[in-house]
Structure 1
Amino acid sequence: MKILCRYILAWAAFFGIANVYFCRINISMAIVPMLGESIKRRDSSGASCVERSANTTEDNVEFVHIPEFDWTPEQRGLMLGAYYYGYTIFQIPAAWVAAKYGFKRSFGYSMLLASILTCLYPPLVRLNLYLGVVIRAVLGIFHSVSFPCLTGAWGIWAPPLETTKLNGIHVSGASAGTCIIFYLAGGIIDSYGWASIFYVTGGISLFWVVTWFYLVYDSPEQHPRIDPEERDYIIQSIGENRQRPDLKTPWKSILLSAPVWGIMLGHAASNWGNYTLNQQLPTYMANVLGFDLKLTGLLSSLCYVLQWIICLVAAYLTDLIRQKQLMSTIRIRKLNTIIGLWVTGLCVVLAGYAGCNTHISIILLFLTAGLNTFTVPGCKSAMLDMAPAFSGIVFGFSNTISNIPGFVAPQVAGSILQESTLPEWQAVFWLSACVHVAGSLLFLFKGTDELQDWAIVEKKNERVDHSNEDNTDQKIVTKL
C-alpha cells in the first residue's frame, strides 16, 4: 500500500495545528490556579450550582488553589485575549508571505519561534502582567501564519474532489489539540504547578518543527520521495493554474466580494462560539458546575474529541456526496453551515438553562463543541471552490475578521461574568447563539461554489498563429 505524500502533508499539518492549539489554549487551564480558586457547593435552587470564595474554611470546600496573581476580571480577559490581537492583525501579511516564500518555511520557522516564546512565558509574566500580555500577543503573530499557509497549500497539493477532506484533516488538528491539552493540563498542573504546562507544550512544539522540515515540501515537483504516479496525478488534476508565487493578488476584488464576506462572517460567527467555549469552559465547569480541575480537564477534552471526530467525518462525507453528485457543492456547504451555527446556537442556550442538571449540561456542551466543526466543510472551505489559486489569501482575510472574537469575546464575557452566576452565564450563551445565526445569513444567501471572475488565472504563453504574419503572445485563460 502506497503512502500518499499529500496525506503525509495533511497529517503533518494536523499535528502542527494541534501544537498551535497546545500553545494557544494552555493558558485557559493555567489561569485557574494562577488566579486561585476556592469552591464550595451550594443548593441547586440558588443562582449558581456552586459559589466561589476567596477564603473559606468550611468542610464542604471542593478544592483550593492559592493565587499567585491578583488580577481583576478585566485583566484576566486582557490576558486571555492578548494572543488574538497579534494573531488577527497579521493574518493577511502572513498569507502573503506564505504565498510568496512557500508554506514549508513560513509555517516551520514561525512555529520554531512560537515554541521558544511559550517556554519563556512563565518567568516573564511573573516579572510583569503586561510583559506577559506582550508575549501572548507576539505568540499570536507567529501563529498567524498557520491556517493561511495550510489552506493555500491545498491550491498546490489537493486534487479538486479531495480538497474538503484534506482541508478537514489539518483543520481538525485544532479540535485534537484542544482536547489533548484540556485532558493533560489538569494533571500536569496539579502535579508540577501551572508553569509546567507552558514548558511541556513549548517542548512538544519544538519536536514537531524538526519532523515538519523533514517530511514536507512546497510542491509535488520539489518532493524527493513522492511516487511519480501521485505527482503526475496531482499536477494533471489541478492543472497548470495552481497557486504560484508570481500570481498578482486581486486585493480589491477580494475585499468587495459578497461571497467572500459571507465566508468571513460565517467564519467569525463560528469562532465566536468556539472561542467562548474553549476559553470559558474550564471556568464554567469549575465555578458553576463545581468540578475539580482534573475532572474539568477531562470533560473539556471529551468535548473536543467529539469535535475532532465530527470534523473528520463531516469533511469525508462532504467530499463523498460531491463525488457521487448527491447534492451540489454549494448546497452541502450551506447545509453544513446551518448545522454548525444554528443547531449549536440552540444547544448552547439550552445548556445554560439546564443549569445544575450536570448530565444534560455536559451533553449539550458536547454537542455545541462537536457540531461547530460542520462549518469546516461548510463556509470555511468555500474559498477552495470559488478561488482555489487565492485560497490562502482569502483565508487570510477571513481569519482576520473571524479572529476579532478572539479578543472581543473574552472581554465581553469578562464584563458580563462579574459574579459568575448562572444567569450571567445564560446571557453569555444567548449572545453566542445570536452571533451564530446573524453571522450565517450572508453566506446562506450569497455563498457560491462558482469560480469567481477575479480568481481566473491568466497565463501568457507564446505560440504561433499561422493565420497572421506576426507571432503574437496569446493569452490563455483557464478556469481552475
Structure 2
Amino acid sequence: MSTGADIKATVGDIPNDNNLNMTQEESHKKGFCSLRHGLALILHLCNFSIYTQKMNLSIAITAMVNTTVASGQLNVSTEGPTTNSQDFWNETLQESKVAPVYDWAPEIQGILLSSLDYGSFLAPIPAGYVAGVFGAKYVVGAGLFISSVLTLFIPLAADTGVALLIVLRIIQGIAQVMVLTGQFSIWVRWAPPSERSQLTTIAASGAMLGTFLVLIAGGLLCQALGWPYIFYIFGGIGCACCLIWFPLVYDDPQNHPFVSTGEKRYIVCSLAQEDCSLGWSLPIKAMVKSLPLWAIVVSYFCEYWLLSTIMAYTPTYISSVLQANLRDSGILSALPFVVGCICIILGGLLADFLLSRKVLRLVTIRKLFTAVGVLVSSGILVPLPWVRTSRSTTMAFLVLSSASASLCDSGALINFLDIAPRYAGFLKGLLQVFSYLAGGIAPTVAGFFISQDTESGWRNVFLLAAAINVVGLLFYLIFGRAEVQDWAKDLTFTYL
C-alpha cells in the first residue's frame, strides 16, 4: 500500500510545472473514459448488487405473507374473497407459481425487515479500520461474496423458520457492511478532490439502481417464477460481480497494471497537498470532541432514519394503502428509486462543477445540498397520508421526495472525506454504525405504529421521520465544516 512518502516521491518524478499542467489537461480530456471512472462503475455494480440483496425481502415479503390465508393453511389459496385487498392478493396468487406462504404478523415482518441491521453495529468500525490500513480490495470482495451466497439460501431459511431467517440476515448484514464501508478507503487514493463528488455519487447511484430493479422486477418474478427466484437471481448476480471485482480493482493507482502514466500522475499530484496517509493510530479523544464530526454523525442517523423507512415500507405502503396488486406494487415502488439514481449522479456533477468553477465554497456546497435534500424530501412526505386517495399524486410525492433526498449524497453524507481523508475508512465505519442504528430502529417503530392503527400509523411514521430529519439538518447547518480538521493532519501519531 502506498503512503504519503510514495506520493511525494511520485510528485518528484515530474520534471516541471508545464509537464504537470499537460498531465492534468490530458487527464481531464479523458473524462468518463479514465480508469478512475471505470473503478466508479465497478463499485456502481457492487452497490447495485448489494442493494438488490438488501431490498429483495421488502418486495418479496408481500408475496411471502398472505393475509387471506389462515394459519395452518399456508399453501392454499382462498376462494371467494370479500374485500378489495383480498381480490388483489388472490389475483396475484392465481397468476404466480406455487410457493410457500407464511402467517407473519406485522410485528414479525418489521423485525425481519430490520434484522439485516441488527448485527451491523458490530462490523462497520472494524471493517472501515481494516480496509483503511490493509486496503479495501479483499474486504469489499469478501463481503460481496458472503452476502451473495447467503442470499441464495434465504428461501431455505424462511421455510425452516423465522429464527433461522433472522440469524441469516444478521450475518448477511455484517457482510454487506464490509462492502458499503470498505469501498470509501479506495477513494482516498483514487479520487482527486475536484472529482470526489462525482466519483462517489457514480458509485453510490448503484444503490438506487439496484433498488429500482429489484422493485420493478420483483413483482414480475413472483408472478412468473415464484418469490424464491428473487433471491436466486440477485444472489447469482452478486457472485458474478465478484468475478469482476477481484481481477480489476486495486487499492491505489500506484499498483494498478492498467492505469496510464498520465492518469497516475494526475491523481497523485492532485492528492499531494492532502495528507491522506493511512495508519494504525487514531486520535479518538480529538474525534470525540470534534463538533464537525458530530454534525456528520447526527446527519447520518437522521437521514438514514427516513431512508430506511422509505426503502423498507414503500412496497407495503403501495400495496396496502393504494390497493395495488403485487405486479403494480413493484413497478410503482421502483419509480422513486430510478429517479433518485439519476439525481444522485446529477447532484455529484453539479457539486463538482460549482466547486471547480469556484462559484461556491466547499462548505457552502455541502450545507446547501443537504438543506435542499432534507427540507424538500421531508416536506413532501408529511402530507402523503392525506393524498392517498389519488394514486398519481401519491406517486408524484414519492418520486419528488426521492429525487430531492438524493442531493444529500453530495452534502453531509460524503463530508467526512473533506474533514479527515486520512481516516476515511474508519470514519465511514463509525458513520455506518449510526446509519444501521437508524435502520434497525426505524422499520421496527414503523411496524409498531402500523400494527396499532393503520390509518394513523402511516401518518405517525411520516411525521416522525420528517421531524427527525429536520433536527439533524439544523445540527449540521450549525456545526458542519468542510476543511481538514487539525486532528486529521497532525503527524505526531505513528502511521504505517
Per-residue deviation, 1:385: 1.2
Q: How does 1:36-435 map to 2 (within 5 A)?
A: 36-37=66-67, 57-58=81-82, 60=84, 61-64=87-90, 68-239=101-272, 243-418=276-451, 421-435=454-468
Counterparts of 1:133 and 1:376, CA distance in 2: 30
**Cα distance in 2 for residues equivalent to 1:136 and 1:221:** 37
Q: Distance in 2 between matches of 1:305 and 1:321?
A: 25
Note the alpha carbon deviations across 1:378-432, whole angstroms, 9 max, x for none. 1011111111111221121111112212111111011110266333211111111
* Structure 1 Cα separation of the partners of residues 477 and 169 of structure 2: 35
Higher normalized strand content (fraction of residues): 1
TM-superposition CA deviations, 1:40-67 (whole Å, max 9, x none): xxxxxxxxxxxxx998524852332667
Instruction: State whether residues 342 and 437 of structure 1, in contact with CA within 8 Å, keep that contact through their aligned partners in structure 2.
Output: yes
Matches of 1:431 and 1:184, distance apart in 2: 31
Query: Given the superposition, is the C-alpha separation of residues 11 and 140 from structure 1 closer, same or farther in structure 2, using an over 3 Å criterion?
Result: same
Q: Which residue of 2 aligns with 1:453?
A: 486
**Range with greater deviation from structure 2 (387-396 or 61-70):** 61-70
Task: Return closer, same or farther for 1:249/1:357 CA change in 2, 3 Å cut-off.
Answer: same
> Structure 1 CA distance, aligned partners of 2:180 and 2:291?
22
Deviation at 1:118, TM superposition (A): 0.7
- State the distance in 1 between where 2:205 and 2:453 align: 31
1:29 paired residue among 35, 59, 80? 59
Tell me if the contact between 1:38 and 1:62 (Cα under 8 Å) persists in the aligned partners.
no
Equivalent AA in structure 2 for residue 313 of structure 1:
L
Q: CA deviation at 1:451?
A: 1.1
Listed one character per residue, the Cα deviations across residues 79-138 of structure 1 (whole Å, up to 9, x for unaligned) are: 111101122331111101111221111101111111111101111221121100000000
In structure 2, relative to structure 1, the CA distance for the partners of 1:55 and 1:367 (3 Å cut) is farther
Name the amino acid aligned to 1:160.
P
**How much does 1:245 deviate?**
4.5
Q: Higher helix share goes to which structure?
A: 2
Partners of 1:355 and 1:422 within 8 A in 2: no
- Between the aligned partners of 2:108 and 2:218, the Cα distance in structure 1 is 22
Q: For 2:64, give the aligned amino acid.
A: M
Q: Give the match for residue 478 of structure 1.
A: none
Q: Distance in 2 between matches of 1:186 and 1:293?
A: 5
Q: Report the secondary structure of 1:417's partner residue.
A: helix
Cα contact 2:278–2:423 (8 A) shared by 1: no
Q: CA RMSD in A?
A: 2.1
Q: Percent same amino acid at aligned positions?
A: 30
| Runs of at least 5 residues in structure 1 that lack an aligned partner in the other structure | 40-52, 461-474, 476-480
Paired positions, count: 448
Alignment deviations for residues 10-53 of structure 1 (CA, whole Å, 9 cap, x no partner): 110111011110111100011111111459xxxxxxxxxxxxx9
* CA distance, structure 1, for counterparts of residue 169 and residue 331 of structure 2: 25
Distance 1:241 1:361, change over 3 A: closer
Separation of aligned partners in 1, 2:107 and 2:82: 29
Amino acid aligned to 1:12? I
- What is the TM-score with the length of structure 2 in the denominator? 0.86
